[in-house]
Structure 1
Amino acid sequence: MPATHATQIAFFQRARGLVETLAWLRLCAIAGQTATIVVVTRLLRLPVPVVPLMLGVGALVTFAVFAFWRLTLPRPVSLAEGFAHVSVDILVLTYLLYWTGGVENPFVTLLVIPMALAAAALSMRYVAAVAVLASICFALLVPWHQPLPPLHVARIAEADLREIAIAVNFVVIAGVLAFFSARLANALRAREAEVRRQRESTLRNEGILAIATQAAGTAHELNTPLSTIRTLLGELQRERGNDTALAGDLALLVGQAERCRDILRKLVAVGNRGLNDLPEQLTLAAFVEACGDQIRLLRPEIALRIAFTGNAGEQVIAAAPDLGHALVNLLSNAGDASQAAGSAAVELRISVDGGDAVFAVRDHGSGVVPRLGAGFRTGKQHGLGLGLALAHSTAERLGGGLAAHTAEDGGLVQRLRVPLLGNDNSAP
């Protein structure tokens, strides 16, 4: 089965991470190999083949320059390319070991490092290929290699010098493996956290989709009884229009029926725009004014104060209908929190941060930060727990986010962030 687009992106990221890691390790290897050659030839005065060894180090320097140049290109790094970089390092190390004793060299175990790094980033078939290549190189070094010169020097026995080399080799391998194993573990934990977040988001969106589907079906079913109610109310008004006591109640019922009809029509219009992927384009001032009018109609007891920062009101936003519902839900929740603390004040401040519009909703309640994205939970006695979940889901779907923090002088501030029209992440 072909890999999905997301899987391919993950492979590209892992391969690029491997190539970057090898590039920096290659610089360390070049420095270490050069220093080793200098120490062996100048201080220990051992007759090692300097020219072949420097040719190998020079080849590694050339490839290191190429690797850093390659990382500057925008083209993704494939798994095959990552395998090629690992292979070059194994082959150059094998060449250097050939001139320095082969398997008798204590540093032969450095062949393990490329295999360990490949196992952390490449797919199984490339890891197997790296293991086979390293094993073949090791096997070839057994019969074919240039023997090491006598290792004993003044005041240092041959056994002591070999033990020093083994100790240095162990420190190098342990340090590299410990460092990159820790990096790998951190990356895995970050990936698991992202997977959990995506799973929670998916479950929440599935629940919201089910609710939306049920709401659409309910709206369709309500159209017929609502039409019947409006017809009967009209007849009652004609028949009992002279009844003063009843006329006011009938007028109120007619007004409520008309409002229900307008809500259903708006719901149909929202669905049509959603299907056609055509969100309404409004300035932030017009959008906020419409939301303010709606919250004042629904919650007249709330004392809403609106303020714009700079020229934020002139900015244009792709006002998807659910964005308006999200903001109204946040304002309504803020009103409930303020009223629970004996206040009716709710503040809405609109600002622009980069390419995003930020709606900061401030209440004067207890300041308890809600758990965003944790499902349909509510702390209100008669709440359904949908408002905050819908707002969070809407913000994520539009390419933004929802965050909350406690205000310094009490209360809670919830920041709804969505891209402005024309921003790369904005909804179409």
Structure 2
Amino acid sequence: MRAMQTRRYPFGRSLIAARGETVGQQNMLQLIELRWIAVVSQVLTITFVTLVFHVELPLLAMSSIVVGLIVLNLFSLYRPRRASEISNGTLFAGLLLDVAALTALLYLSGGATNPFVFLYLLQVTLAAMLLDAWTTWTLVIITAVCFAVLTRYHLPLQMPGGDTGQLFLLHIIGMLICFVIDVGLLVVFMTRINRNLRARDTRLADLRQRAAEEDHIVRMGLLASGAAHELGTPLATLSVILGDWHRMPAFQRDPEILAEIEDMQAEVRRCKTIVTGILLSAGEARGESPMVTTLSGFMDDLVEDWRRTRPVQRFDYDNTMEDDPTIVSDSALKQIICNVLDNALDASPAWVGFTVSSIDGMLALSVRDRGPGFAPEMLAQFGKPYQSTKGRPGGGLGLFLVVNVVRKFGGRVTVENRPDGGACVTMRLPLATLMIEENDEPAT
């Protein structure tokens, strides 16, 4: 069976194409958005000071810095990156460039006397949230040095006519604007960054949970494989004894006993088939090649076998697939489908429905019943081990295995209670993970 392939990008993907798949990418996008806000704010501030207060500023040099920030943003968004994650060094370099641009603008507009000098605090706060400790302290030292240098080296603001009153009013207005920008951006971006960090922690917790569940499945598989080996000998012995009984004249003269012996032989054969399936799923069967079939043929054979060996009163099977791709008959997939059908039969012996369909490259397998449905606590904990309404020790592992096997195929399982009574379990799997190419040959 062909595994789902990961799309490869030989030259990497740009940040805008990745759409914030990782926390590092999301944080870099936050910095880029902050830089866009800074560009707009700088343009508006320069325009306001020039037109309203008629302050003479080196507009060409300041415009060059603003254009440089725009080019940096576009480069950061569209540059192909080989690594999917944004490193600490990349974020540090971005903040350093922002500090350099701010320092240059402050140098051209009054230096440390410019109230916008306190925007350094915003850069340091972001660094404390996003960077490692040593890079954060490095940025603290750099901003402190820049502040100190600006107290001595800068181009002073030139007010028309040397009006110091206007200069003081401009300083107060600048302080107010700087305060609003600082607190507003800190609240907005700290909230977003914390949300990204919480999302990362949630994903890590999910990964740890999956690792624990997969370890649990491995242990169960080892136990099942060992039990299958141990059951092989007694089942073979029972088969021989029942065969001898079937040929004994005393039993052949009693049709009722002979029929019971045949029923027992059928059940022993079924047990041997189950044991063989367990060993095949564990990869321990020898001398058998995987069977290449069509998806519809696989489903039809599965349904026929399940209907023949289960005491279902009414079974509605509906296959609405338009395409019929070629697949390798997978015993694990067959087992989990039969598991869901068995659960539906336990809950609703009178009727079970099974629908096979496909849409947008996804295979949908829906199993319905007319039983009591799932309790609310079962729906909330669906897919967790030992969640069962049957009250048997060790129960609830069937659906746990179903969820994990479907997840291995790249799919997902959803459950719901039907409005007219009963439950519906739907397994959705990518058709690409089931299909084989024409030149693919199953391994023996």
Q: Distance in 2 between matches of 1:309 and 1:253?
A: 38
Aligned counterpart, 1:115: 124
Superposed, 1:149-160 pairs within 5 Å as 149=158, 158-160=167-169
Q: Distance in 1 between matches of 2:425 and 2:168?
A: 70
Aligned counterpart, 1:38: 47
Q: Distance in 2 between matches of 1:305 and 1:152?
A: 93
TM-score by length of 2: 0.81
TM superposition shift of 1:96: 0.9
Superposed, 1:293-332 pairs within 5 Å as 293-312=304-323, 314-332=324-342
Q: Distance in 1 between matches of 2:114 and 2:435?
A: 56
Alignment pair present for 1:336 and 2:373: no
Aligned counterpart, 1:194: 203
Q: Which runs of 5+ in 1 are unaligned?
A: 1-8
Q: In 2, are the aligned partners of 1:18 and 1:118 still within 8 Å (CA)?
A: no
TM superposition shift of 1:273: 7.4
Aligned counterpart, 1:75: 82
What SS does structure 2 have at the residue aligned with 1:68? helix
Q: In 1, are the aligned partners of 2:23 and 2:196 still within 8 Å (CA)?
A: no
Shift in CA distance, 122/275, structure 1 to aligned 2, threshold 3 Å: farther
What SS does structure 1 have at the residue aligned with 2:283? helix
Q: Distance in 2 between matches of 1:152 and 1:288?
A: 90
User: Given the alignment, which residue of 384, 389, 402 partners 1:379?
Assistant: 389
TM superposition shift of 1:349: 1.2
Q: Structure 1 stretch 206-215 or stretch 259-268: which is displaced more?
A: 259-268
TM superposition shift of 1:184: 1.6
Aligned counterpart, 1:136: 145
Q: Distance in 2 between matches of 1:423 and 1:74?
A: 32
Q: In 1, are the aligned partners of 2:366 and 2:427 still within 8 Å (CA)?
A: yes
Alignment pair present for 1:404 and 2:415: yes
Shift in CA distance, 123/353, structure 1 to aligned 2, threshold 3 Å: farther
The one-letter code matched in structure 2 to 1:406 is N
Superposed, 1:192-271 pairs within 5 Å as 192-239=201-248, 240-244=250-254, 246-271=257-282
The one-letter code matched in structure 1 to 2:346 is D
Q: Distance in 1 between matches of 2:23 and 2:125?
A: 14
What SS does structure 2 have at the residue aligned with 1:409? coil
User: Given the alignment, which residue of 349, 352, 357 partners 1:346?
Assistant: 352
The one-letter code matched in structure 1 to 2:243 is G
Aligned counterpart, 2:369: 363
Shift in CA distance, 152/169, structure 1 to aligned 2, threshold 3 Å: farther
Q: Distance in 1 between matches of 2:168 and 2:268?
A: 99
Q: Distance in 1 between matches of 2:223 and 2:411?
A: 26
Shift in CA distance, 301/54, structure 1 to aligned 2, threshold 3 Å: closer
TM superposition shift of 1:391: 0.8
Q: Distance in 2 between matches of 1:243 and 1:151?
A: 125
What SS does structure 2 have at the residue aligned with 1:373? coil
Shift in CA distance, 418/282, structure 1 to aligned 2, threshold 3 Å: farther
Q: In 1, are the aligned partners of 2:373 and 2:417 still within 8 Å (CA)?
A: yes
Shift in CA distance, 127/308, structure 1 to aligned 2, threshold 3 Å: farther
Q: In 1, are the aligned partners of 2:69 and 2:101 still within 8 Å (CA)?
A: yes
Q: In 2, are the aligned partners of 1:94 and 1:137 still within 8 Å (CA)?
A: yes
The one-letter code matched in structure 1 to 2:303 is G
Shift in CA distance, 153/335, structure 1 to aligned 2, threshold 3 Å: farther
The one-letter code matched in structure 2 to 1:172 is I
TM superposition shift of 1:107: 0.9
The one-letter code matched in structure 1 to 2:241 is L
Alignment pair present for 1:292 and 2:293: no
Superposed CA offset, 1:273-298 (max 9, x none): 7999x965432222222321233234
Q: Structure 1 stretch 76-85 or stretch 101-110: which is displaced more?
A: 76-85
Q: Which runs of 5+ in 2 are unaligned?
A: 1-17
The one-letter code matched in structure 2 to 1:91 is A
Q: Distance in 2 between matches of 1:425 and 1:39?
A: 66
Q: Distance in 1 between matches of 2:407 and 2:21?
A: 25
TM superposition shift of 1:392: 0.6
What SS does structure 1 have at the residue aligned with 2:416? strand
Q: Distance in 1 between matches of 2:107 and 2:436?
A: 55
Q: Distance in 2 between matches of 1:265 and 1:64?
A: 61
Shift in CA distance, 199/294, structure 1 to aligned 2, threshold 3 Å: farther
Give the share of equivalent positions with the same residue, in percent: 28
TM superposition shift of 1:156: 6.5
Shift in CA distance, 386/425, structure 1 to aligned 2, threshold 3 Å: farther
Superposed CA offset, 1:83-135 (max 9, x none): 22221111011111112222222111112223333344344443343333323
Superposed CA offset, 1:179-208 (max 9, x none): 111112222232233233333333332222
Shift in CA distance, 265/31, structure 1 to aligned 2, threshold 3 Å: closer
Q: Distance in 1 between matches of 2:132 and 2:251?
A: 81
Q: In 2, are the aligned partners of 1:152 and 1:161 still within 8 Å (CA)?
A: no
The one-letter code matched in structure 1 to 2:100 is L
Q: Distance in 2 between matches of 1:161 and 1:136?
A: 26
Superposed CA offset, 1:10-66 (max 9, x none): x99344333333333222222211221121122111233334323322332333343
What SS does structure 1 have at the residue aligned with 2:312? coil
Q: Distance in 2 between matches of 1:152 and 1:29?
A: 30
What SS does structure 2 have at the residue aligned with 1:147? coil
What SS does structure 2 have at the residue aligned with 1:142? helix
TM superposition shift of 1:416: 0.2
TM superposition shift of 1:382: 4.2
> Could you say what the CA RMSD is over the residues aligned between the two structures, in angstroms?
3.3
User: Given the alignment, which residue of 376, 387, 390 partners 2:401?
Assistant: 390
